[in-house]
Structure 1
C-alpha cells in the first residue's frame, strides 16, 4: 500500500479528502495527518509516505515552507497542492518545486482520484529518476473559468458552447504557448482530466482517453487545441446519440441530473436541450410531478445544502457559498436571507446555540 500524508490545519478539509479518496481501490492508505508544515516534516521522516497532500495556508510552517523542505530532504515524495482561488500568487513558488498537481477548493472527488492515480503511475514508473514536471499555476488559473463553462455546455449537449470554449483556450495557447511545450502539455492534461470526469458522470466509455498525448499534438497551440476539439467533439456526439436513443422523457433522470449538478449553472433551457424536449413541456411535466418548477427545485436544493454546511462552524461562509453554486458571496447572503428569513451568519449562530443547549444531541 502506498502511504499518504494529509496536511491541513482545518480538520474538515482533511475529512473531505479522507472521504472522497478511493483509497482501497488505488492501493493507498492514509498513514498520518498533520496540522502544519513542521509536524508534517516530522511525520514524513517517521512514516516515509510516498504522497503528501498539503494545503498552502497554515499557521506556523505553511505549505510553501513544507514544500521547500520536502524538496530538499525527500525529493522522491509526490506532493499534491490544495489551493483556493485567493492563494494562486501565494502558491506559485511552491508549485515550481515539482508538485505533481494541484486541487482547487472546494475539492472535486473526480479530480482528487485522477491526481492520485497520476501519482501512483509516476511512482510505478520510478519517475523521480527524471526531471520533475513543474506545473505553472497561472496556466491552471487561466483555465479555471473555461472549465466551469465547459462543464455546463457539455452536460447540456451544447456543441456551439463547447466549441466556443475550446476556441477561447486555443487563443490563450497560441498567444502564450509558443516555445513552451510544458504549458501546452499542462493545458492538454488538465482539459483531458476534465473530459474524463464529464464522460464518467454521463456513463460514457473512456477508451478514447487511454492513449498518451501524441508528441506532435504539443508542437503548437493550434495543434493542441485541434486535438482537444477532436476528443471533446467525439465524446459529445456519443452522449448526444445516447440521449437521443431514449425516445421518452424520464423525469427521474432529470431530477437525478439536477441533484448531481445543482451547484452548476443549471437552467431550464439547458435541461430541455440536454433531454431533447421543449422547455415549455419540461416545465409543465416537472411541476405536475414534483409540485414546483425547476428553478424553485434547484433553489431549494442549494439552500438545504447550504444550511447543512453552515452547521459545521469550521467551514467558512465563503466556501459554503461556493459549494452551493454562488460565486458572489453578497448575492448568496441575499438569497439565503430571503429564503430562510435570517442571514447565513445568524443561522450559524442559531445552530451553535442549539448544540450548546443540547450537547448530547
Structure 2
C-alpha cells in the first residue's frame, strides 16, 4: 500500500476524505491528516508519504505554497490538488509545482478512482525504475516511443521478420471502476495468456500494449483469433466489468518489418483506437481497414460550409427568440457534421476545432447584437468539447448547447437568470413522478454535478433535491385536497420512493403530516 496524507482546514472535509473513500481499493492508506500546509510539512517529515491530497485555500500556508515546498524538498512525493469550483483557477498555477491532478469539491468517487489509480500506477512505474524494471518492459517502452533503438539491435534474431502492436484501452472501464485490484487482475490475466505466445506486453496508462512478433507476416487473419480469445478470457474472469464488450476498445497497427518500425505500428494502433470516436459500436479496429486521407481537402470549401451553417443556426436561434418557442436543432447539428462523415473526413482534433469555432462565432455575433447568455461560460463550454470522447456524444452535447442558447434568448427579460436552472425546474415540473437525482439532471444538462449544484443553490437559495421535494409536496397537496387516493398511493404518484420519507418531507414543508392535512 502507498501512503497518503490529507490536508484541509475544514475538519468535516478531512474526516470525510479519510474515512468515506475506499483508499485500499486504489492501493493507498491514509497515514495522517493536517489542517494547513505548515502542519502538513511536519507530518511529511514523520511519515514520508508517497502522495499528498491538499486543499488550495488554507490559512498559514496555502496548498500551492505546500506543493512548491514539496517539489523543492521531496521531489518523489506526488501532490493532488482539491479545490472548490470558485477557486479552481488558482489550482492551474500549481502545474509549475509538479501537481499530478486536480479534484473538484465535493469530491466524487469516480473522480477519486480515476486520479488515484493512475497515481498508484505511476508510483509503481517509479518503483520499477528504481529497482530495475524488467528488461522486456523497458525495451517495449523504448520501442513504442522510438527511443534508444541502437541498444536493441542485437536482441532480435534473424528469424524475426514481422512485428505488430495492439492496444487494449480500458479508459471507459477505469472511468467507472478504476480500482487497483482490477488493474492487477488484468495484468495477471495478460501475463497468463500472452506469455504462452512469448509475446511481450506492458500496462501503460490505462492501456495494455501487446507486441506480437513472428518469423512471417503477423496478418490480421492470424492475429484476430488471439485477440478474441484474450477478450473472452477477460469477460470470463471479470464478467460485470466487461459485459457487452463496451468497457474497452482494441486498436491494432499495421505490421512492421523491422524493430525500428514498431513505433510506427504503435502510432497506427493509437490512431485505430481513436476511430472509436466515430463508431462507438466497434470494439476491435485494425488500422489497415481504415481509409486514412490526408488533410488535403478544400479548406476554403469547408470554411464556406462552416459560415453557411453558422448563418442557418443563427437564423434558427433568432426565430426561437421571436416565437418564444422550443426549436429542433438535431437536424442542423447532424448536417453540420456532414463533411466529417467517415474516418477520412477530418482528424478528431479538427472536428473539435470546428465545433469550438461554431460556438465562438455564434457568441460573438450575438454579443454584437447586445444579447447576453447567463448560462454560457465560454471557457467551460470549450473545455467540454475536448472532454467528449465520441462523435455521437458531441452531437448530443452541441444540440443541448444550442437549446440552452435558445432558452437564454427566449428569456432575455430575465438576463440574470441561468437557463440551466430554468431548464432543470421545467424538467422537474414535467417529470416529478419519475426518479430524479442530482446526477441524472447534471448528466442531462452535460454539467459537472458540483457545478450544477452550486449554480442552482446560488440562483434559488435551496438545494436541487429540496426543490424536487417542494414540487412533489405541492402536487401531493393538490391530490390530497381533490381526490380520495390513499396517502401511500399519493406518495407513489408524486415520485417518492419511500412512504416514511414522504411523511417526513411533507411535514417539513407544510408543518403537518399528510393524515392531519387531509382532515383539516
Who wins on radius of gyration, i.e. which is larger? 2
Higher relative contact order (CA closer than 8 Å, sequence separation 6+): 1
Q: TM-score range by the shorter chain?
A: 0.3 to 0.5
TM-score between the two structures when normalised by the length of structure 2: 0.33
